């Protein structure tokens, strides 16, 4: 704006002084006008035509339309800052559980170690404790416990009442001091025999190796071997202990999101490095990493260490985006340049993020970055257009062509031209509505058609669809 005022004053003074000095004939000044009014008209036209409306509209209109397009495609964008940063992202760090995997884990195998407490008792206790946690693994254990009970009794069990003294440790698991009376009451109601003493405080832990180490609970070798085998197959083994003795292990499988592999490939094609930061153990994280094509893996990291991973990358001059869903991801979502949360994630993660993927589909990560780039391109284009417009119109309004054409741009025409430029910038921003999200190739492989009618035995169809 100050530049515009200076330009306008300069125009006015240039015409006025040169008129007084007799640099142009008096006949140039229209009849009934003084030299002052004649010069002032040029000055006013310059202010009006250069009023930086078009420049001022270039960014907000594009951001408004960009965020609107994001919302219709299931991506909530929290402001222009986020959009700008997302288009410069050079590395994306993925959380594993609930982000690369569907987040609907299920207990697929169990390993029972202690004869003095039955499998059913373990399942009930674990279900009771985990009902206090929002973690996807906790939900899998609660579901498993309900299934064990309904299989035993043939009836749907009552919901587990969440115990009081629960210590939820993100990235580790859950510790609880449980009154045996409340457990016995539940067990009796569901006709599960129990040898647990009444009036006794049970110390129950459900979590990973780190939780057990922290609590000083030792892990028998047979349990360790069993866990390793499960982990190498991409499953998460959750340890369960009662009164500091490991009594059960639950192997939990969480299938990969079907689009995960392709999304990672696509992101790499866009020049973005992909990494994984998971609180899960090394073997499970690497098994999942192999399946999706991520080799830069930080496994067994606590929520604080996820932040360190992000900060280290930022020190290496990377612009880092973090994608996660859990409470454990929230500090990293805040620390990263662009935090992307899954809509189904915990409220804290959604609150901490700059982008929210409402449909939980990883393809929307690609779309979010692609849309940010498209919006930034549109802003640059708007600026260029507004600049070109000003470069042409300011000299015209200032009377650059007056000596040869004797035509003066009156302020109302300048006003019209200014409005037209604003409208053209708004229209240019609205063109973002034509944005098309990136298309993924869907592979159909291994479909078997038994075409005995055709006199041919099993036929394998392999194809691809754009």
Distance CA 289, CA 96 (A): 9
Distance CA 101, CA 110 (A): 21
In this chain, which of 63, 76, 238, 425 binds ligand ADP, going by CB under 6 A?
A: 238
Cβ atoms 286, 299 nearer than 8 A: yes
* Residue 167 falls in the annotated catalytic set: no
Tokens encoding 64: 């408004």
Least distance (Å) from ligand ADP to the CB of residue 324? 7
Least distance (Å) from ligand ADP to the CB of residue 444? 30
Distance CA 31, CA 45 (A): 19
Least distance (Å) from ligand ADP to the CB of residue 248? 12
Q: Which one of 39-47, 72-80, 127-135, 188-196 is the stretch in contact with ligand ADP (CB under 6 A)?
A: 127-135
Active-site position among 81, 95, 167, 360: 95
Query: Look-up: residue for tokens 């240039």?
Result: 14
Distance CA 10, CA 8 (A): 5
Closest CB to Mg ion among residues 182, 253: 253
Interface with Mg ion by CB under 5 A: which residues? 95, 97-98, 325-326
| Other residues' Cβ atoms within 10 Å of the Cβ of residue 226 | 18
Least distance (Å) from ligand ADP to the CB of residue 191? 27
Q: Could you give the string, one character per residue 142-171, with x where binding to ligand ADP holds by CB under 6 A and - elsewhere? A: -----------------------------x
The helix (H) or strand (E) run that includes residue 206 is strand 201-207
| Binding site partner of 354, from ligand ADP, Mg ion, none, Cβ cut-off 5-8 A by kind | none
Identify the three-state secondary structure at position 251: strand
| Binding site partner of 118, from ligand ADP, Mg ion, none, Cβ cut-off 5-8 A by kind | none
Closest CB to ligand ADP among residues 38, 172: 172
Distance CA 296, CA 288 (A): 12
Query: 269 to 298, contacts with ligand ADP by CB under 6 A?
Result: 278-280
Closest CB to Mg ion among residues 43, 303: 303
Cβ atoms 236, 97 nearer than 8 A: yes
Distance CA 121, CA 203 (A): 14
In this chain, which of 105, 157, 326, 345 binds ligand ADP, going by CB under 6 A?
A: 326
In the chain, what is the greatest distance between 2 CA atoms, to the nearest angstrom? 115
Closest CB to ligand ADP among residues 77, 227: 227
Distance CA 350, CA 97 (A): 16
Closest CB to ligand ADP among residues 325, 370: 325
Q: Which residues are catalytic?
A: 95
Contacts to ligand ADP by CB under 6 A: 95-98, 130, 133, 135, 137-138, 171-174, 206-208, 236, 238, 278-280, 326, 328
């Amino acid at each position: 704006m100050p530049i515009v005022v200076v330009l306008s004053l300069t125009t006015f003074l240039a015409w006025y002084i040169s008129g007084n000095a007799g640099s142009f004939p008096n006949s140039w000044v229209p009849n009934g006008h003084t030299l002052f009014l004649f010069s002032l008209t040029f000055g006013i036209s310059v202010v009006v035509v250069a009023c930086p409306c078009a420049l001022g509209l270039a960014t907000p209109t594009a951001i408004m339309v960009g965020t609107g397009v994001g919302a219709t495609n299931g991506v909530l964008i929290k402001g222009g800052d986020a959009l700008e940063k997302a288009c410069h992202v050079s590395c994306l760090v993925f959380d594993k559980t609930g982000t690369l995997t569907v987040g609907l884990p299920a207990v697929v195998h169990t390993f029972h170690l202690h004869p003095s407490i039955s499998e059913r008792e373990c399942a009930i206790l674990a279900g009771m404790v985990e009902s206090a946690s929002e973690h996807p693994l906790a939900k899998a254990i609660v579901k498993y416990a309900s299934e064990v009970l309904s299989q035993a009794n043939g009836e749907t069990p009552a919901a587990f009442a969440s115990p009081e003294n629960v210590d939820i440790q993100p990235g580790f698991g859950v510790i609880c001091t449980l009154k045996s009376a409340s457990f016995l009451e539940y067990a009796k109601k569901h006709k599960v025999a129990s040898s647990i003493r009444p009036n006794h405080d049970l110390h129950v832990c459900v979590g990973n190796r780190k939780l057990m180490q922290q609590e000083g609970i030792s892990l028998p070798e047979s349990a360790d071997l069993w866990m390793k085998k499960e982990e190498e197959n991409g499953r998460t083994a959750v340890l369960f202990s009662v009164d500091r003795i490991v009594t059960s292990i639950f192997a939990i499988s969480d299938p990969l999101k079907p689009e995960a592999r392709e999304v990672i490939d696509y992101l790499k094609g866009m020049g973005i490095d992909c990494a994984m930061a998971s609180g899960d153990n090394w073997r499970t994280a690497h098994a999942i990493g192999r399946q999706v094509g991520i080799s830069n893996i930080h496994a067994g990291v606590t929520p604080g260490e996820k932040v360190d991973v992000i900060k280290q990358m930022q020190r290496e001059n990377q612009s880092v985006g973090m994608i996660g869903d859990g409470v454990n991801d929230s500090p990293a979502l805040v620390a990263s340049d662009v935090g992307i949360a899954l809509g189904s994630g915990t409220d804290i993660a959604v609150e901490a993020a700059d982008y929210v993927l409402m449909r939980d589909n990883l393809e929307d990560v690609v779309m979010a970055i692609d849309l940010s780039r498209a919006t930034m391109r549109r802003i640059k284009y708007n600026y260029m257009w507004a600049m070109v417009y000003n470069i042409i119109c300011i000299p015209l309004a200032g009377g650059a062509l007056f000596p040869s054409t004797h035509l003066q741009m009156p302020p109302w025409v300048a006003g019209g031209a200014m409005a037209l430029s604003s409208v053209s910038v708004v229209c240019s921003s609205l063109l973002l509505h034509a944005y098309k999200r990136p298309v993924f190739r869907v592979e159909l492989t291994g479909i078997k058609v038994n075409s005995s009618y055709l006199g041919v035995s099993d036929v394998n169809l392999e194809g691809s669809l754009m």
